[in-house]
Structure 1
């Protein structure tokens, strides 16, 4: 009985998704809003907004690398944190306690918290404003869903300050890994949806880097090794480099038109 109800629920969700996708891809949405969207004031404002937010995406990606570097330079173990400690350890506040012992790695944990707050706000907005400019209707709703979930996950990560924590396990690590799993899925979905011939390299990078990032982050979920910090960072860095590249790709696509 429960299994049958679950099947009905999944079927209803699939039907709702198909109706919504059909509305946006069949032309019904465009027919209603086309006159408004084609007004010169709206078009110029949209172009300016896309350019500004492309620059914001570049800054957001660069700030992540800067924030992590600053946090690590002021950490207890210095640059070896890149290979010996996971990223989420850099987010833990000074008074954080792990099994009655201080678990703080760096006094500048807030720079990393800010990096994830920026991701939380800018990733979904970047999709809506910039990614839709270079992609077709294919996989658009799926991309929106992944981007929204990644933004929500980043917001939760930035506020992560409590609970029992271990470098290789427990709820905080799992939530972190799932968030970046979704982020790399968004990269792959966006890569397949890109339909601009002027940014083919970015399209291929989105797909290939997304798949590599997925492989790395999935391996950290199921396999615990000394290389976990390395694998985790490959997944994160592929996403951050993609975010920076996205800003430049959108600007290039706008210049080509």
Structure 2
């Protein structure tokens, strides 16, 4: 009977995954600082990035160093924000947001992953028109009508635009400029999101054939694994239980 992964092996894998998450968060904080001011109380985008980092258990010292780097105090290489558009298996539209200090490296890495996994890189605005930038908060309600009603009531009172209940989740949609106030109101109501942020949400979902579901999931996982990639948005309507 074969042995499973050792405790040390599992810990090393978890540490590597955590380090990759931290790398992405640090880049997000750096870019948010550079785009505004190094004070989270006066820079909403930075405040959101810091909140996300704290939720991931990043230390305050690490956050402060990232802010310092973003302000140019340490002379580090300038980070920039890039967006690539493309297609996945079955013609699924993809938006790939990145933070990088080397555009040449990033586009080469993104193109290579797409080409090797049934996708291809598109031109600017080739798929962006199929998405809308909005605030999104996802709550695990498990189909419980009482929980769904609580989310709905709190969200609409807070100024959200819509609440969508599907696959055991309640997704709150709001304007990007209202995201912070809606999130705060929901937390005050005792509701804590599984996922929250300002994202590119597809205007319509496209059905994926069974043979393309796994290929699309693999492609998105490989894009997410790139250090420079901060978020991958797509317009696929995936079966319940498939996370991509």
Larger helix proportion, structure 1 or 2? 1
TM-score tier, shorter chain, comes to under 0.3
Relative contact order higher in (CA < 8 Å, ≥ 6 apart): 1
* TM norm structure 2: 0.24
TM-score, with normalisation over the residues of structure 1?
Answer: 0.23
Higher strand share: 2
